[in-house]
Amino acid sequence: MAQVSGRTGFNGSALTRLLSRLCEVDVREPRQVTADRLSQWFGWTDAISLSAALNGTPAASSPGPSGARTSASAEESECKRVRAALATAIAEDSTFLPSPVRDAAMDPAVPVAFSPFRQRYLARQQAMEAGVGPLRGKLRARLAGRSPAMARLASVDVVMEQVLGAQERTLLASVPALLEKHFKRLRQAAPDAWLDRFRQDARDVLLAELDLRFQPVDGLLEALRAGHKDTSQ
């Protein structure tokens, strides 16, 4: 279970620390322990689903078609490819790249609007969600074909995604509003090179969010590696 949900948590993530620094907000770890905080996010139907996943006894799995018990190299390669593609798309997004020619031609009397940055940030978020979701599903399917224990692990991750995924989407949806505050503060405090600085900060936030979104994938991939080691010994 720790391998699937071994996340630093939204409050302890690099994303939150970065946003805390950019927005000059002191984000403290909640006094409640993790289990208590998680219990507040689970309704009674969620608790039943999680209990069934934890206590269930999946049927013994068969090897499956075309080498279901082979190494995790194919899945690992695909995860690396998708992650690299998403990171490259962020790094090369023209909205967040400095453009001396365009900025020099801008009329300083016309204020720069935040709306284009918000739209692009939301588009990047949608691209990340579209890329990470299928990967997570594929890794769960591969785990389920390994052993009853791995199938149980995959079932638990399904429940965790259903419950925590909704909370995570709500939290991540608030990021553009935090960036807008940073945008306005920079515009007032650093009138010379503030726009390029904001673009760099926005790219850093997007990359930190990408890391956060990939944590469940990394956990499932590690479980798949561990399962392969066990079966190969």
State which amino acid sits at residue 172: L
Give the integer Cα–Cα distance in Å for 97 and 200.
Answer: 7
* Domain assignment present for 159: yes
Give the integer Cα–Cα distance in Å for 146 and 143.
Answer: 5
Residue by residue, pLDDT tens for the chain (233 residues) are 333 434 444 455 788 889 888 887 665 554 544 445 444 544 434 444 445 545 654 433 444 444 444 455 788 899 999 999 999 999 999 999 987 645 554 555 567 899 999 999 999 999 999 999 999 999 988 888 888 888 888 888 888 788 778 888 888 999 999 999 999 999 888 777 889 999 999 999 999 999 999 988 998 888 888 765 555 54
Predicted pLDDT of residue 211: 94
Q: Is 66 exposed, middle or buried (0-12, 13-18, 19+ CB in 10 A)?
A: exposed
Total domains in the fold of the chain: 1
* Domain assignment present for 34: no
Residue 206 CB coordination number (10 Å):
24
* Domain assignment present for 219: yes
Predicted pLDDT of residue 230: 52
Predicted pLDDT of residue 69: 45
- Which residue bears the tokens 């080691």? 229
| pTM as predicted | 0.75
Predicted pLDDT of residue 64: 42
What are the backbone dihedrals phi and psi of residue 44, each rounded to the nearest 5 degrees, phi first?
Answer: -70, -35
Give the integer Cα–Cα distance in Å for 135 and 35.
Answer: 27
Predicted pLDDT of residue 102: 54
- Domain range for 168 is 2-23+70-232
Nearest to 1 by CA among 232, 225, 223, 233: 223
Predicted pLDDT of residue 108: 57
Cα radius of gyration (the chain): 21
Predicted pLDDT of residue 120: 96
Predicted pLDDT of residue 49: 47
Give the integer Cα–Cα distance in Å for 198 and 174.
Answer: 17
* Domain assignment present for 131: yes
Nearest to 226 by CA among 147, 125, 163: 147
Q: Cα 163 to the chain's mean position, in Å?
A: 15
Calculate ∠ Cα 133-139-141, nearest 5°. Answer: 105
* Domain assignment present for 39: no
